[in-house]
Amino acid sequence: MASSLHIAAFVLTATTAAFSQASQLQDLYQQAQANDPSYLAAQHILTAKLQIIPQAKSALMPQMSASFTQKSPLDSNPDSHSYSLQVALPLRLDAYYGMKVAEQSAAGARINFEKTQQSLIFSVIERYLAVVKQQHQLTSSQAELKAMQQRLKQAQKQFDVGLASAIELQDMLANFQQLKVALLQVEQNLHLARTDLESLTNQPLPVQLASLKQDFQAKQIPRQDLTTWFSLASTNNLDLTSNELSSQQAYYNYQAKDVGLYPKATISLAQAYNSLSSDTTTLSITLSGTLYDGGLNRAQTLEAQENWLARQQQGAALVRSTQQQVRRWHQTLDTNRQQIQAFASLLQSVEASLAGKNQEYKLGLRDISDMLDAEKLVFAAQRNLANARLDLVLNHLRLKQVSGLLNNDDLVQLDQWFN
């Protein structure tokens, strides 16, 4: 019985995985990049949105046009032909601000794609850890069922010699069947967790995923005070960066509307040739503008201004929301560290209690029900400690994500911890 518990504890803390590649999480992320439809769609969306730059830039660039005409009269007049070439340079203040709007929009598109990358990294990690948790649960449930089976055999022997009642034996059988039913649910949960991860990568997973190393310590995740995390989030949080770019875009859009009624100028140079007359070269300056538009531009300007002011207020609300998330996950990390210490101490206590009760059982001072209760406490403590270690890792990454720091380096680090 003791050996079964030791085996279960070992597997919970360091699952022996067939999938032993040093870059397991990095490989899963690369597979997700190549196969996840949402990520692939985000790539195309980014490429499409970046085309706004050349579109806006074209309004500031010279425009060239050319024409050729061939005339063949049906009477006795001679044939003639002509051609013209014109280069025009538009001078538009609204186009300048339109270019600024396009630049901010493109920058925002890049940030949104970076958010998609971070989300995909976290999804891979979160689903990977969900599988590992279910592997822990399955291993623990199997070990608990095996321990119950051994106790059931002992109860059967005691019943055969008259040392245990039929009711005690039936209670043991009921507990055994209950564990078998629970094991079926655990196996189902593991299957669902694996399917969830495979839906990202579109590739089959190995039979067993590697768990945290047995020597992993909570102190390997560095402690940083809340003020430091606030500072990091204010600088790197992608939602804040995206909102700042959107605010700048709204401002330039407001400026573009504000100068909408300003005169527009065009400088053009034209060269024309006609076979029946001489060449002509013309330099022209055109100035045009709207004298009255029924109040349309004024309304559009006010609308753009209010959108800009609204975006600024949304940014202030987003700062508060981000700080709240940072505070939440920072506090959760501290709780995780305390839980790990508490569960480790609890595991030592229940293992010592089980060892003592096992000796008393051999002396006839404890019955089988006492042993079952003690063993359940050991299995529960093992599961809780293993899950708390995984929660610490995952919540640390949540804190990094909300601070805008989650990247490929975290996958490299996890591969070292989980290999």
Coil, strand or helix: which one is 63?
Answer: strand
- What's the residue count for the chain? 419
CA-angle at 291, arms to 288 and 292, nearest 5°: 140
Where do the H-state alpha helices sit in 14-92?
Answer: 24-35, 37-49, 52-57
pLDDT for res 15: 40
Q: pTM here?
A: 0.85
Tokens of 176: 């055994």
Please name each of the domains of the chain with its CATH number. Answer: 2-67+80-417 (1.20.1600.10)
pLDDT for res 148: 87
Q: Give the max Cα distance, the chain.
A: 135
pLDDT for res 18: 39
pLDDT for res 171: 82
CB neighbourhood size of 239 (10 A): 19
Q: Which residues contact 181 (CB under 8 A, 6 or more apart)?
A: none
Question: DSSP letter string over 387-404?
Answer: HHHHHHHHHHHHHHHHTT
List the chain residues with pLDDT less than 50. Answer: 1-20
Cα separation, 316 vs 313, whole angstroms: 5
For residue 86, the 8-state DSSP code is: E
Q: pLDDT tens digits for 37-49?
A: 999 999 999 999 9
Task: Specify whether the CB–CB gap between 118 and 32 falls below 8 A.
Answer: no
Cα separation, 329 vs 148, whole angstroms: 39
pLDDT for res 161: 82
